[in-house]
Amino acid sequence: MAASMDNLFSREIVRNDEVCLKINQCEIGDVGCVVWDAAIVLAKYLETKDFDCGKKWKGARVVELGAGTGILGIMCASLGADVIITDLPEFLPLMQCNIKENIKKISGRISAEELTWGKGKMDVSFDFILVADCIYYDESLEPLVETIRSLCSQSSTVLCCHEQRTTGNKPELERKFFELMEKYFTKFKVPLESQDVQFRSDDIHIHQFHLIKNTST
């Protein structure tokens, strides 16, 4: 269902230096029209000393997949990165609205583009690929992994954050996603103690992935 831009309500995320980003969400629409906790946890991790972001983000080339409201990519661009936030076409108005809302706080460059997993091609690789809470339906897993791979070079880092869910087929989906990723990528689980002190949770996990050397793409 397309995100309806008629009734918006907002959520704020405050950077460590007190700069406040305002993110609009839709009352009516599909899952991407609200901010998910995994996006907040990963967004706050980008600021941690563990991730050494102060130096890393300035000028870094970043793409976010399944961005929804765009909160994660907007946070990253506000830290100085050059970011493309992407999602299904129906989320372009919401992503563009949130870029506009926060443009004065963004020091890097940012744009919103349509990217449907397994379909669109960008023909370019990025320093960072950000993915928050995108492991949730079976048919999308292979196209999602294929798209992640297509955006990576040997020096890319994939940062993936997901909320662990125990109901229905969700554990199986998670297992399948990691199995697919580990065919091509090394996996590192970010320990809880390395994450933001306030915005972390036992059931929200951050992983870093790097392409296994000499994997053909």
Q: Is 29 in the site for ligand SAM (CB under 6 A)?
A: no
Burial of 111 (0-12, 13-18, 19+ CB in 10 A): middle
For residues 62 and 125, what is the distance between their CA atoms, to the nearest angstrom?
9
For residues 179 and 193, what is the distance between their CA atoms, to the nearest angstrom?
25
Q: Is 132 in the site for ligand SAM (CB under 6 A)?
A: yes
Query: Closest separation between CB of residue 96 and ligand SAM, Å?
Result: 14
Q: Which residues, listed in sequence order, are joined to residue 132 by a DSSP beta bridge?
A: 161
Please, are residues 64 and 36 in contact by the beta-carbon 8 Å criterion? no
- Residue from the set 2, 5, 19, 88 that interacts with ligand SAM by CB under 6 A: 88
The structure tokens 């409201």 sit at 69
Q: Is 116 in the site for ligand SAM (CB under 6 A)?
A: yes
What is the total count of residues that contact ligand SAM (CB under 6 A)? 22
Q: Is 73 in the site for ligand SAM (CB under 6 A)?
A: no
Q: Is 107 in the site for ligand SAM (CB under 6 A)?
A: no
Query: Closest separation between CB of residue 49 and ligand SAM, Å?
Result: 24
Q: Is 36 in the site for ligand SAM (CB under 6 A)?
A: yes
For residues 24 and 12, what is the distance between their CA atoms, to the nearest angstrom?
9
User: 77: which 2 tokens?
Assistant: 């661009």
- Residue from the set 66, 73, 80, 108 that interacts with ligand SAM by CB under 6 A: 66
Residue length of the chain: 217
Q: Is 91 in the site for ligand SAM (CB under 6 A)?
A: yes
Which residues of the shown chain bind ligand SAM in the complex (CB under 6 A)?
30-32, 35-36, 38-39, 66-69, 71, 87-88, 91, 116-117, 132-134, 136, 140
